[in-house]
Chains A and B, each alone.
Chain A
Amino acid sequence: MKTLGGEEKPDTKLAELLKLLGLDSNRDIELEDVELDIGEIVLDPSVLSSAALKAITPSRMKAVAPPTLKPTTILEAPFTPFIQEYPGKIREVTLGATKSKGGSRKPVTIGGATTPAFYLFEKAPPNPPVISVDVFDMKVTLPKAIRTQVEDVWEDTAAWAKRAVNKWGAKVLTLHLLSTDPLIKDTSPADAVKTVEEVLQAVDVPLIIGGCGDPKKDAAVFTKVAEMAEGERVLLSSVTLDMDEAGVLEGVTKAAAKHGHLVLGFTALDLNRAKELNRKIADYLPEGDILMDLTTAALGYGLEYSFTIHERARMAALMGDTELQHPVLSGTTNAWAAREAWLNLGPEWEPRSLRGPLWETVTALSLLLAGIDLFMMMHPDAIRTMKQVIQQLMTRGKAKPEKIANWVNAKI
């Protein structure tokens, strides 16, 4: 119910109407739902001629009443959220397997979303997004802000893995087998298997196995690792359409299927190629064991492409595109590829010890809101913030209006 009228003088047309209705213009009148076209108000035709009705009803009624009728109290207009129906759903995927399921991990389940990211007013996500911490199998070039956190362990992969789990609370680890790169150290698949074994023994979280990017070498390494890590449900990161061209995709995905692992399909900011790759992987592996990496570009270095392709992919998946209904992973550590994350830009942009991790944080949070389910991250401060924000985003109703009600008076 709304209250109209009062001290303001109504315009003549309305006054005419009120008079016709037998109402005094100085008296408050109550109208039901004035937001609607006035034509919908039930008026007795015997009281009101159709000509008079026409005169007071503009052809297209605005939501706004004539400005001369200034309200004196708040007009109630309750909020009802616009809720959308989504026929599709993101698949739920579990990384790692317990002893009873043939592995030795503390498993982590991701995916299962039925709405865009954190639309809690529609439905809360069944699983929080998860952060996997990056570990390398050799000393690598790292920005100073990260290097200082790991340089005492970076020649001992198992120790590095333990640091990530015990000190930073990693629930998943990504072990990058960078040394297998034919252009770096070209270590053998057997060496890689040994490293993976060491890390599996050192920690009990699920593993993501990162390759070097060479399609043939990665296929060889992944196949051996899959065999050794039988039943552990590791995620092989990643398989590509280049592997298909090189004729090695089938072998890797079959090995993953045979030994109970998951596969990450990587494509470069192209949803059609992502769908094509997913179809090819699904020829050999159950759809529920596939994740997607659509490419993460750093803030300032193309993050908007990643953000938008993930929003598009998620919306398409929810609207029913089954080829895109896989959980998505972001290589968020890529944030450090942007020079603004690490370059000396002069004193006004310091300290880099904050600027760098903030860069990774903002990259991660932007993609969190675009629907990422699994993040690969590096800096402990960025990881801490992400975990905290994810936890805060999982539930609603905790805002305390009194906390900011008088922020304009706050002495900061």
Chain B
Amino acid sequence: MTERQIKRGIKELSPIDVYMLLPRTNCKECGETNCMAFAAKLVNREVSLEQCPPLLKKENEKAYNQLQEILAPVIKEITIGTGEHAVKIGGKLVMYRHEFTYHNPVPIALDVTDEMPLHARFSGEEAIVDRVKKVENFLYNYIGRDLKLDMINIRSTSNDPTTFKKAVEEVTKTTNLPLILCTFDPSVMEAGLIAASGRKPLIYAATKDNWKEMADLALMYSCPLAIFAPNDLNLLRSLAKTLIEYGIKDLVLDPGTFPNEGVSDTLNNFTMVRRNACKGGDELLGFPLIGTPITAWVGEKDSKEMLAWKEAYVASMLMSRYADVLIMRSLDGWVQLPTVIWRFNIYTDPRKPVSVDAQLYAFGKPDEMSPVMLTTNYALTYFTVESDLKSFGGDYYLIVVDTEGISVESAVAGRYLTAEKIAEAVKSSGVAEKVKHKYLILPGMAARLSGETEDELNNVGLSGWRVIVGPRDSSGIAKLLKEKWPPKEGEEE
């Protein structure tokens, strides 16, 4: 194969290799202390080449090009849309998440068709505008982060250029979200491209029959082009080669998403394509993969719930197995919630520690009568509690106990959170000197430790401290405090 074969994988790329190509002037213009530090950050993708002004000078052009080459992701990064509303897909440096952080979380495109009414004609009818607004308004706050849906897939079921054009016009008027235009008919596609001019949509898709016309459109309108070759990797690769030679630079690959009995072929195809690109140096397949869980809805007679259920789990499997962008149908919260959360999760840095520092945390401006709560140092436990306390507002102390990064329930079961440990943590936090009251709020999951904890607190010299059993989930803290804080003297728990 070609030069990508000799391009070393991200794991083997050493900062020295990068350093040798840098100007090595230690000018600090990039903000780093020296060129070696900048090289290390380049390897970690924490900075970009453009942050080194001397490198951009004419005399360093060769080095710049070489650096671009050795730092290029093995899966090409492709932009759909323009300006601040653009999304980037692909840009993957590795196959497995433990090798390096995955880049560019999978955008999820929700489907509308050109045969949907532009505006609702009677109450309850879902029009294009309504659905697009729903996509835009989708929002879930997860540990302090807003999770959203990303794109609109406009699909022609009419196969009529005028109808498609109208639908695309309506969508572009309604939203700035990036678009996928979806039809195999080049004349319909062109009508859509005219309506979406300046929006740089993804063209879906070139097939063995229409590839030439679609390629001409992609070149004429400067849009990325998807290749659809269902369960045919020979065709997929051949079309990729053909289109590259035709002059298309931005390709997206679709080996087909088969729900039901074809799910095995689907995952094997996605895996083979990604592996050939990442491990086999196959440049023709070094492009983002598009998954279409929406096919769960095609030609099946199950109930709406069953089809949405299938679409949801197929989407999650495709995200685990290398899809870089997804087209989906269901907008139901119960379908999209696991999808957007799993996406958020697998695109986090795998080197991110599983635990936070065990210490005393203050929220708001706690005073001597502020509640004292306690949790474990598992990162997700801490962030969940933190996000709840912040959303309630108010002033609190939170003691974080070192449970070796294990959540409350498991830590209690596994004896990582014991009465002794709690008492020790309360004492060493120094919170007893900061408050006047003597109440500790324990997580509901640790309720069974409450009696023992009072004894142990007494043993470490915190006499008179009482335990209030909190909710099993931190979302209930506000209610607990409303009912029980400040505690009345002598109140029994």
Residues of A within 8 A of B (CB): 35, 60-65, 67, 69-79, 81-82, 84, 118-121, 141, 183-184, 212-215, 240, 242, 268-269, 295, 297, 299-305, 307-308, 311-312, 315, 334, 337, 339-340, 343, 345, 348-352, 354-355, 358-359, 361-362, 365-366, 369-370, 385, 389, 392-401, 403-412
Q: A304-B97, A385-B313 are in contact. List 12 more A-B contacts (CB 8 A).
A: A74-B242, A303-B342, A340-B337, A340-B341, A348-B333, A354-B309, A358-B335, A396-B264, A399-B256, A399-B261, A403-B262, A405-B230
Cβ A354 vs Cβ B305 within 8 A:
yes
Q: What is the bound-complex CA distance between A370 and B2, given in angstroms? A: 31
Please tell me if B238 contacts chain A, counting CB pairs below 8 Å.
yes
B263 partner residues in chain A, CB cutoff 8 A: 389, 392-393
Q: Pick the residue among A60, A118, A213, A348 that contacts B267 (CB under 8 A).
A: A118
CB distance from A297 to the nearest CB of B (A): 7
Of the candidates A74, A75, A299, A389, the one whose C-beta lies within 8 Å of that of B345 is A299
Query: Contacting B262 at CB < 8 Å: which of A69, A81, A343, A399?
Result: A399
Task: Indicate if B265 sits at the interface (CB-CB under 8 A).
Answer: yes
B260 near A392: Cβ-Cβ < 8 Å: yes
Q: With A304-B350, A401-B231 in contact, do A393 and B264 touch (Cβ < 8 Å)?
A: yes
Asked if residues B262 and A411 are in contact (CB atoms below 8 Å), the reply is: no
Nearest CB of chain A from residue B98's CB, rounded to whole Å:
5
Shortest C-beta distance, B404 to chain A (Å), equals 6
Complex: A15 Cα to B421 Cα, angstroms: 81
Complex Cα–Cα for A400 and B473 (A): 46
CA distance in complex: A315, B98 (Å): 11
Asked if A118 contacts B298 (CB within 8 A), the reply is no
Quick check: is B280 within 8 A (CB to CB) of the other chain? yes
Is the C-beta of B386 less than 8 angstroms from some C-beta in chain A? no
Summarize B's interface: helix, strand, loop or mixed. helix
Shortest CB–CB separation between residue A86 and chain B, in angstroms? 13
Shortest distance between the CB of A73 and any CB in chain B (Å)? 8
Contact B283 A63 (CB under 8 A): yes
Complex alpha-carbon distance, A141 and B264, angstroms: 37
Contact sample, A vs B, 25 pairs, CB 8 Å cutoff: A35-B241, A67-B247, A70-B247, A74-B208, A79-B276, A82-B280, A242-B414, A268-B414, A301-B380, A301-B384, A302-B354, A302-B378, A302-B407, A334-B410, A339-B475, A340-B142, A349-B333, A349-B334, A358-B312, A370-B320, A399-B258, A400-B262, A404-B258, A404-B298, A407-B294
Binary interface encoding of chain B residues 327-339 relative to chain A, with 1 for a CB under 8 A from any of its CBs, else 0: 0010001110110
Interface check B91, CB cutoff 8 A: no
User: What range describes how many residues of B lie at the interface?
Assistant: 35 or more
Query: A215-B415, A339-B475, A408-B182 given as contacts; is B404 within 8 A of A403 (CB)?
Result: no
Cα A315 to Cα B97 with chains together (Å)? 12
> Would you call B234 and A78 a contact (CB within 8 A)?
yes
8 smallest beta-carbon distances between A and B, as pairs: A82-B280, A399-B262, A213-B413, A399-B265, A79-B233, A355-B334, A349-B333, A67-B247
Complex formed: what's the CA distance from A348 to B204 in Å?
31
Give min CB distance, A408 to chain B, whole Å.
5
Contact with A along B222-266 (1 / 0, CB 8 A): 000000001111111111111011110000000011101111111
